[in-house]
Amino acid sequence: MPTVIVIFGWRLFFYANEGNEPIHIHCKSGDKECKFWIDSENFDIQEAFALNLSPRDKRQIRKIIFEHFDYIVDQWQEFQKENPMNAYHNIDGIKIAGGMLSVKVDDQLIRKNLIEISPRLAHASQQELNHYEISPSGYGIYWPLIDEDISIDGLLGIVHSPASWRKSA
């Protein structure tokens, strides 16, 4: 877990095995620990979790992150180059027939009715359905002829939000 900054008793760092998570920073000082999501486009942060932090500690660590924001983002990008993201999902064997989508995701066969997934897909011609692209990360499938995208996590019933990220931290 590479250390990014040590300041005022706080160590800010990344875990090496979290390549599939959005940009974030872990912070630790004694028995205090927290994690913040970083929105580099909007120069903003959001607390993912905090353990044993007083309001003063939270203000201090937020100030440290904001004061070193660009450096943290640069370090994250460098770290990701050295530890590239793994594919999010392994997608294989897509078949669409009879109003059903069958796709093998991470060696698990998923079958869904097209109308449950997307009205656009349900009303598309077979030619339109047969022309699709799998994202390089395995995160989704795109049908360019009808400009429709679906997420694999959506097919699997996985919901992402900052609240769910907190639970997995």
Concatenating the DSSP letter of every residue in 59-84 gives: HHHHHHHHHTHHHHHHHHHHHHHHSP
C-alpha of 120 from chain center: 26
pTM (predicted TM-score):
0.52
CA distances from 19 to 11, 28, 116, 164 (A): 20, 20, 31, 17
Q: Give pLDDT, residue 152.
A: 87
- Coil, strand or helix: which one is 58? helix
Q: Which helix (H) or strand (E) holds 119?
A: helix 119-122
Contact (Cβ atoms closer than 8 angstroms) between residue 61 and residue 90: no
DSSP reduced 3-state for 55:
helix
Give pLDDT, residue 74. Answer: 92
Structure tokens, 38: 């970083």
Query: Residue-wise over 2-14: b if at least 16 C-beta within 10 A, else e?
Result: eebbeeeebebbb
Parallel, antiparallel or unpaired: strands 91-97 and 100-105: antiparallel
Residue 23 CA to residue 33 CA, distance in Å, equals 17
Coil, strand or helix: which one is 1? coil
pLDDT, position 84: 59
Question: Which residues of the chain carry a pLDDT beneath 50?
Answer: 1, 163-169
pLDDT at 32: 94
Tens digits of residue pLDDT in 118-151: 998 999 999 999 999 887 777 788 888 998 888 8
